Amino acid sequence: MIDLPDDDLLRYYGARAPEYESIYDRSERQADLSALRRHVAGWAEGRRVLEIACGTGYWTEVMAGVARSVLATDAVEDVLAIAWRRGLPSPRVEFRRADAFALEGVPRRFDALFAGFWISHVAREDLSAHLQSLESRLESGGRLLLLDNRYVPGSSTPVSRRTGSGDTFQRRRLAAGGEYEIRKNFLTEGELRQFVGPRARRVEYREWPHYWAISWVRG
Ligand SMILES: C[S@@+](CC[C@H](N)C(=O)[O-])C[C@H]1O[C@@H](n2cnc3c(N)ncnc32)[C@H](O)[C@@H]1O
């Protein structure tokens, strides 16, 4: 049993679970998604990957074919239930419930850490410390890959609010009903390089019209 905060983000992703993957059906994003899948698969090849906030396992499946192993974690039972149904090869690929802010219960060490569309939900003021805590799950020389959205007018949900610390929020409606206000930061390359910090080695940033990806080696 994990002890989770009573959090709007968790409630939102629980309610969104059955409709989550429609985000990957958007026609204007297909070319970028193909490129991104190749990028992720190339990065994961032969590695022992810890995946944070794996959701329904879309990127887990991309890595499953090439990685040595993947332990994919998420805090929300309803998204993990969908991920489990993918039938990915066990025990090489495993899903486990875990809070990204409390990974101490994840015992093994890994040589790679992946998080897709996760850090946009983390408050800017917490981001450097959060990235350091993720890095601590890795052996020295381990690699990290993060990817997330760029803001594209007409495709992205409009920003509804901005706080003094620069965090932005969106109001999101679900097909099943209900509206949620969710933190969603659109980080620039310069901001990402700052959050990753001077300790990182071999920092590489890539972008496509709808997405960015940043990778580095733990210093
Ligand atoms: C935008 S989704 C990304 C899902 C998946 N990585 C993908 O790219 O398709 C964000 C995920 O963060 C998960 N999440 C929210 N709070 C979390 C927490 N504290 N710890 C771990 N996962 C969390 C949600 O359940 C959701 O699956």
Domain layout of the chain by residue ranges: 8-151+186-217
**The CATH number of the domain covering residues in 8-151+186-217:** 3.40.50.150
Distances in Å between the Cα of 60 and the Cα atoms of 57, 76, 88, 198 are 5, 16, 9, 29
Per-residue pLDDT reduced to its tens digit, 6-16? 688 999 999 99
List pLDDT tens digits, range 52-82.
Answer: 999 999 999 999 999 999 999 999 999 999 9
pLDDT at 126 over 80: yes
Distance 54 CA to ligand 1 centre (A): 6
Residue whose entry in the numeric block shows the structure tokens 């959090």: 7
Pocket of ligand 1 (CB under 6 A): 9-10, 13, 53-55, 58-59, 74-76, 79, 99-101, 116-118
pLDDT bin (cut points 50, 70, 90) of residue 3 is low
Q: Any idea which residue has 């429609």 for tokens?
A: 22
Look at ligand 1, atom 26, and give the residue with the nearest C-alpha.
Answer: 55
Tally Cβ neighbours within 10 Å of residue 34.
11
